[in-house]
């Protein structure tokens, strides 16, 4: 068991501003704007260009968080938009690569459905927890982070398989691993949600 830091030693919370026109928010909006050209490229089978755009979007995700922390540009707008941009980009990637690739290799529909169902269940559960406990303090767990990495890795490998042919041989195992991470991370969110509501009901 780790030693809990004294209050004076704990890291201070990042102060959020009300400004919306900040560099991190501009990067987030740019990531949202890249979804349509990414989908168009992926639908047409221009996988290399789609992969480059997907990786650039991931780079903006890293940059906006880093800039927000280091330069004090964290904002309420950014806290709201950033996860939406991430989930929307990844969700669109799975939908397009699964259902809109006529005549081209595609991600199995059941994989896409599992990814989207997890997000829908987590969003619905978060809303229920907030309504019951007024607590919006869901923190990303290690299981959620692993799942996110696997989702991103699946899209990257899928789009890169033309240039790196051996990647196509690992997809059956990758899909099973992704499904397991979806089940584990969703279960962890469910457990935390029940705990948060239980704490609210305690006298």
> Does the pLDDT at position 78 exceed 90?
no
pLDDT tens digits, one per residue of 104-113: 999 999 999 9
SS (H, E, C) 82-132: HHHHHHHHHHHHHHHHHHCCCCCCCCCHHHHHHHHHHHHHHHHHHHHHHHH
pLDDT single digits (tens) 36-57: 999 999 999 999 999 999 999 9
Give me the pLDDT at residue 201, please. Answer: 55
pTM here is 0.83
Residue 89 above 80 pLDDT? yes
pLDDT (tens digit per residue) in 152-198: 999 999 999 999 999 999 999 999 999 999 999 999 988 888 887 77
């Amino acid at each position: 068991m780790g030693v809990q830091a004294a209050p004076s030693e704990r890291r201070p919370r990042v102060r959020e501003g009300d400004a919306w026109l900040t560099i991190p928010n501009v990067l987030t909006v740019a990531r949202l704007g890249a979804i349509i050209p990414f989908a168009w490229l992926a639908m047409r089978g221009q996988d290399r260009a789609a992969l480059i755009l997907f990786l650039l979007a991931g780079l903006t995700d890293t940059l906006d968080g880093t800039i927000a922390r280091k330069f004090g540009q964290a904002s309420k707008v950014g806290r709201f938009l950033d996860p939406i941009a991430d989930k929307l980009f990844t969700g669109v990637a799975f939908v397009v690569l699964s259902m809109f690739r006529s005549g081209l290799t595609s991600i199995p529909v059941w994989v896409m459905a599992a990814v989207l169902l997890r997000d829908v269940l987590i969003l619905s559960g978060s809303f229920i927890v907030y309504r019951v406990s007024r607590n919006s303090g869901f923190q990303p767990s290690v299981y959620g982070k692993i799942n996110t990495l696997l989702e991103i890795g699946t899209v990257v490998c899928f789009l890169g398989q033309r240039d790196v042919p051996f990647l196509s041989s690992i997809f059956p195992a990758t899909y099973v691993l992704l499904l397991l991470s979806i089940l584990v991370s969703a279960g962890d969110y469910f457990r935390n949600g029940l705990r948060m509501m239980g704490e609210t009901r305690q006298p």
